[in-house]
Amino acid sequence: MHNLNLLLLFFFFFFLFLSPTLTKSLSDPPPSTDVGGGGGKHFVLVHGACLGAWSWYKLSTLLRSAGHRVTALDMAGAGIDPREAERLKSFNEYVEPLRNLMGEVGEEEKVILVGHSQGGLCISKAMEEFPEKISVAVFVVAAMPGPALNASFLIGQLRKWLDFGPDSHYTYGNGPRSPPTTLTFGPLFLAAKVFNKSPLEDLTLGRTLVRPTHLFGGEQWNKDLVLTKERYGSVKRVFVVSDNDKVIKKSFQKWVIRRNPPDGVVEVKGSDHMVMMSKPLHLFNILSHIARQHS
């Protein structure tokens, strides 16, 4: 018994001594070399429909480890944002977290915007409002409207191609005879079309964390997302194609590129819709190259 008490006392003091180190390693942010004048860039990452900032966890880690500053945002009603998608009144309200962040960016700073899927609409809004604060915008298999391809028409065409499957859920906040107001991806749709080439752990994460996304009507897009050549058009754009995307198929991605040609196009082979989950290293290398090009 005496020996047992000594052993327990030893472990108590051992963990008491170790606990501050453990706490620090878990709570401290990853080390970064992005200190004034360094080579690190500021990446701002915007998620797609029904997702959140959590969807960038692999890419954020890689970018920070390379010395970059990363801000992954939750749009209104997404991720851990407390608002409910059903209650959103406008696209301007949805994209408010990005607009607020861009408003806080210093006059001498330029960020690299990265939008995934529906996030392309959000970064397009920021390009129109804050072109002088953006070095380049990257559309990762994303909706890419433009001055000659308005958002309402683009989304209308995209919805003709989309099939969310039988288990995705709609709500009808304006009544059953009106168009749906929110959409939540179903678990079967997530497995078959969204995370179909991603690790199973990422599919589980997605099934756990998806939230409804608001479905704005055409009039709302025409009001809230007007893009001009003078402002939106002054920002360099790169489109990242996913060749095995089952949500936004490659043929539609190519159609968008033809209608609104960007400054560069890069293709990721063997990726699903979640490029940052299925091919994080490839996407990291692409973004690193883009950052060097537009430094």
Angle at 140 between CA 138 and CA 141, to 5 degrees: 135
Q: What is the pTM of this model?
A: 0.86
- 257 and 185 Cβ atoms separated by less than 8 Å: no
**Type of residue at 84:** E
For the segment 157-201, what is each residue's pLDDT rounded down to a tens digit?
998 889 899 999 999 999 999 999 999 999 999 999 999 999 999
What residue ranges define each of the domains in the chain, with the CATH number in brackets?
40-293 (3.40.50.1820)
Catalytic choice (55, 60, 117, 242): 117
What is the per-residue pLDDT for 193? 97
Catalytic choice (42, 116, 214, 273): 273
List the one residue out of 218, 187, 193, 192 whose CA is nearest residue 205.
187
What is the per-residue pLDDT for 107? 87
Q: Determine whether 273 is an active site residue.
A: yes
C-alpha distances out from residue 114 to 15, 46, 120, 144, 188, Å: 42, 6, 8, 12, 27
What is the per-residue pLDDT for 222? 87
Q: Determine whether 245 is an active site residue.
A: yes
What is the per-residue pLDDT for 217? 87
Catalytic choice (34, 81, 245, 272): 245
What is the per-residue pLDDT for 39? 67
Which stretches in the chain have pLDDT values below 50? 1-38
